[in-house]
Amino acid sequence: MLLSFLMIGLLFQLTVPLFETPDEIWHIGLAAHLARGGSLPIQVPGEDTPWRQEGSQPPLYYMLLAALTRVLHLPLEDLDRVLIVNRHPSPGNAALPDNKNMALHGSWERFPWQGAVLTLHLWRLFSLVLGMIALVAIYGALRTMAPDRPRWAIGTAALVAWNPMFPFIMGAVNNDVLVNTLSAVALWLLALIWRKGPSGFRLILLGLILGMAALSKLSGLALWIFTPGVLVLLWNRHRWSRWGLLQALALIYGLAGLVSGWWFARNFMLYGDPTGLNVMLEIFGRRSPPHNLAELLSEMRGLIWSFWGVWGWFNIVADPPVYLFLELWGVLSVMGAIFTGARAWRQPDRELRALWAGALGYTGLVLLGLLRWTSLTSASQGRLLFPAIGPIAWMLWAGWEYWVRRWARGKSAGWVWAPAVIWMGIAWIAPLRYIWPTYAGPSTWTALPAQARMVDGVFGDHLRLVAYLPGSAAPGQRLPFTLFWECLQPTERPWSVFLHPVQTPRVHDVRQVDRHPGRGLFSTTDCRPGFRFVDPYWVTVGFDNEVPAVLRLRIGMWDLDSGWIAPIRDGQGQPIDYLILEAGKIRGRTPLSPTQLIDARVGPARLIGVDRPMEVRPGETFTVTLYWEVEAAPVEDWRVFVHVGDPDRPPLLQHDGPPVQDDLPARWWELGDQFADPHPLKIPPDFLHGVYALRAGLYRPDGLRAEVTGPQGERPPHRAVELGILRVVSP
């Protein structure tokens, strides 16, 4: 079991880049600060530090890492070089396909590790060793409390070791690791005291462990509440003297206070709060309570899911069947645990009742602490229940075993191992299926797709945009858009890419994108000359757009810290102000209701109606709106004309140009598209009064008009659709 846990933990360590476990970037910042000889930080809200709110955490875990670093002379000099913060992260949002990382990653993190990268991986290995100690303690506690049921111990250890979230967290740089381990050891000690008696050594060790737990994380204080309850029940059970109980408690809490009391006194003197939570919340941010029951239930579901498998910064999820299995098995196991616990309470086995009381009591304390913390700030993460992972896993095991025994009816109960084996499979698969693809660097390209459109724009003499691949989406969806880059030379600072929508009358509800290249993972400081990479984007299209329409994006690169925007040159080396690309098509159908119906085939489209005024006055601007339905994908880049006057003479008034005022060029037309096409015309003030013919049609860029076919098959000689007459009257 330990070997499998170690191997799974190492697999997670190899596939999860540095800084990509919850809060790891700030835990590393605090540990590195202490390792470099810094003192415990004094937290000041509003001050930007490498450790942020983690500077308010009890310091034991960070002090151990600092001591390990100094004893082994581990390097940290280049930490600032290898830690490149992602300036556009999206932690907690699993729906986004990119920006799941808190740091940028590059060649400096590849094996063989060197410098600070090696040190940080050794810190993670230290955490993983603590995880193995926690497993031993969980197994030992169950073997102690239920020596006649060895399967409980190994089954519980299996559910813990193969919980896909446990090796992920226990292989990270995070003070959760130490408090989880110390909690498991403390519960093992309490089990030994319960079964074998309170020897002086056990009480002393328990006091030290309680002090260390409180000095690791505030959730360790749950042990301080749980311990006296166990000792009081033990003393009452054996009818020992109350004086002995007081002496035991004094010894335990005297040592615990000696180990950790200075930290709480320091907090009180600095912040007026022994826990330091007041300042921590000011830095981290307080939350508003859930608005309704549905929001609260969604948080509870996320809490359960993240106890077993939500990785990264709470933004990498498994396939839906994993959570379906979790919920079905979880419901059965919880129900079975209720039945088993109720049955145990009715039996004369006092040791079994004590085990159930202890598991429920300690889990309840940890859960209450989490609920309290969640009410103050956004922290609905199942990993925060890991101090009680042993009792939780045992109750789930016992609950599942209840059903297996009922189903087996005296036969072999091998199915009791099925959930643990399934979780083991998920734990092995998760790093390769979910985590590795999320953090994989940008893919390279050698040949462009056939649909790619050439660009050849050079940004700041460092990167060349060779081509792009447009996409399509309906309102409410994300439009895929891919850039193809070639590196010319690395930048001094990591550049970001911006995709800003060009606002038009039809397109005005599109979210801009600001992100580092390579799905937010790639640092342009690692842009080796000649390196070509694919850079996919997903542009959110809102509902408040007229469809169909073409989305245009302004493309650029910039340095977020200074605000400097990289200058652009075209393929001939000439500077250009903006690079605007047709990123794709916003698809959809809008009901059309023209005031005048028409039925005429014009090239690849059918003119089905028109809105036009019956009379106008000189000096006015009026609009003729054509209603089109595309019947065949065009092979020409058709333009639209609206003319006023005699068809055998030059038009007196006209409006020629791309359809929909270039919001839907004909090259983007698709079979079935329907759209309104407005054309404004201005009448000169000296325009003669009278009656004039109004007509419209399509023409190619070379001037050749599209063939027009009427409803009876007639073909007008001037290749134009007659829209009726326009009366120009005096003002």
Report pLDDT digits (tens) over 101-120.
999 999 999 999 999 999 99
Spatial CB neighbours of 488, under 8 Å, sequence gap ≥ 6: 458, 461, 462, 463, 464, 527, 529
The β-bridge partners of 518 are none
Supply angle C-alpha 691, 696, 701, rounded to 5: 135
Torsion angle defined by CA atoms of residues 207, 213, 215 and 219, in that order, rounded to the nearest 10 degrees: -130
The β-bridge partners of 522 are 105
pLDDT per position as a tens digit, 669-716: 999 999 999 999 999 999 999 999 999 999 999 999 999 999 989 999
Give which of 126, 145, 105, 18 is closest to 62, Cα–Cα: 126
Q: Is the pLDDT of residue 392 over 80?
A: yes
Lookup: tokens for 82? 């290898």
Q: How far apart are CA 500 and CA 361, in angstroms?
A: 55
- 129-133, 353-357, 370-374, 431-435 — which is least confidently predicted? 370-374
pLDDT for residue 17? 97
Confidence of residue 288 (pLDDT cuts 50, 70, 90): confident
Q: Is 647 helix (H, G, I), strand (E, B) or coil?
A: coil
Give which of 528, 439, 465 is closest to 18, Cα–Cα: 439
Structural domains of the chain in order of their starting residue, each with its CATH number: 2-435 (no CATH), 453-586 (2.70.50), 596-728 (2.70.50.60)
Q: How far apart are CA 97 and CA 82, in angstroms?
A: 24
Q: How far apart are CA 674 and CA 508, in angstroms?
A: 19
Inter-CA distances, 627 with 119, 332, 659, 665, 682, Å: 67, 60, 11, 15, 21
pLDDT for residue 199? 94
> What sections of 272-319 are H helices per DSSP?
277-284, 293-308
Interhelix angle 418-430/2-15, nearest 10 degrees: 30
CB atoms under 10 Å from CB of 322, counted, come to: 20
Q: Look at the block and give the residue holding tokens 């979910």.
A: 434
Q: Is residue 651 reached through a cis peptide bond, with omega within 30 degrees of 0 on the bond before it? A: no
Q: How far apart are CA 120 and CA 126, in angstroms?
A: 10
Confidence of residue 412 (pLDDT cuts 50, 70, 90): low
Confidence of residue 349 (pLDDT cuts 50, 70, 90): confident
Give which of 125, 115, 121, 18 is closest to 74, Cα–Cα: 115
Confidence of residue 371 (pLDDT cuts 50, 70, 90): confident
pLDDT for residue 414? 80
Spatial CB neighbours of 89, under 8 Å, sequence gap ≥ 6: 99, 100, 101, 102, 313, 520
Q: Look at the block and give the residue holding tokens 């007459």.
A: 725
pLDDT per position as a tens digit, 573-628: 899 988 999 999 999 998 899 999 999 999 999 999 999 999 999 999 999 999 99
Lookup: tokens for 427? 């734990």
pLDDT per position as a tens digit, 121-174: 999 999 999 999 999 999 999 999 999 999 999 999 999 999 999 999 999 999
Spatial CB neighbours of 667, under 8 Å, sequence gap ≥ 6: 634, 637
Q: Give Cα 141 distance to the centre of its chain.
A: 37
Spatial CB neighbours of 669, under 8 Å, sequence gap ≥ 6: 604, 605, 630, 633, 634, 659
Q: Is 104 helix (H, G, I), strand (E, B) or coil?
A: strand
Lookup: tokens for 523? 């640092």
Supply angle C-alpha 45, 47, 51, rounded to 5: 95
Sequence-ordered strand ranges (E) for 527-632: 532-540, 549-558, 568-569, 575-576, 579-586, 596-602, 605-611, 615-616, 621-630
pLDDT for residue 348? 84
Q: If residue 396 lies in a helix (H) or strand (E), which one and from where to where?
A: helix 389-408
Interhelix angle 115-145/2-15, nearest 10 degrees: 150
β-pairing verdict for 575-576 and 471-473? unpaired
Q: What is the pTM of this model?
A: 0.90
Q: How far apart are CA 40 and CA 263, in angstroms?
A: 10
Q: Is the pLDDT of residue 453 over 80?
A: yes
Q: How far apart are CA 555 and CA 184, in angstroms?
A: 54
Supply angle C-alpha 492, 495, 500, rounded to 5: 155
Q: How far apart are CA 445 and CA 518, in angstroms?
A: 13
pLDDT for residue 8? 98
Q: If residue 153 lies in a helix (H) or strand (E), which one and from where to where?
A: helix 150-161
Q: How far apart are CA 712 and CA 332, in angstroms?
A: 71
Mean pLDDT of 488-513: 96
> In this structure, which amino acid lies at residue 192?
L
Confidence of residue 4 (pLDDT cuts 50, 70, 90): very high
Confidence of residue 319 (pLDDT cuts 50, 70, 90): very high
| Per-chain mean pLDDT for the chain | 94
CB atoms under 10 Å from CB of 461, counted, come to: 12
Q: If residue 548 lies in a helix (H) or strand (E), which one and from where to where?
A: none
What are the two backbone dihedrals, phi and then psi, of residue 310, each rounded to the nearest 5 degrees?
-135, 110
Q: Is the pLDDT of residue 290 over 70?
A: no
Q: In the chain, what percentage of residues exceed pLDDT 70?
A: 98
pLDDT for residue 225? 97
pLDDT per position as a tens digit, 53-79: 999 999 999 999 999 999 999 999 999
Q: Is the pLDDT of residue 375 over 90?
A: no
pLDDT for residue 134? 98
Q: Is 602 helix (H, G, I), strand (E, B) or coil?
A: strand
pLDDT for residue 563? 92
pLDDT for residue 457? 95
What are the two backbone dihedrals, phi and then psi, of residue 472, each rounded to the nearest 5 degrees?
-155, 155
Mean pLDDT of 293-317: 87
Q: 142-162 burial, b if ≥16 CB within 10 A, otherwise e?
A: bbbbbeeeeebbebbbbbbbb
Q: Is 139 helix (H, G, I), strand (E, B) or coil?
A: helix
Highest mean pLDDT among 411-415, 432-436, 504-508 belongs to 432-436
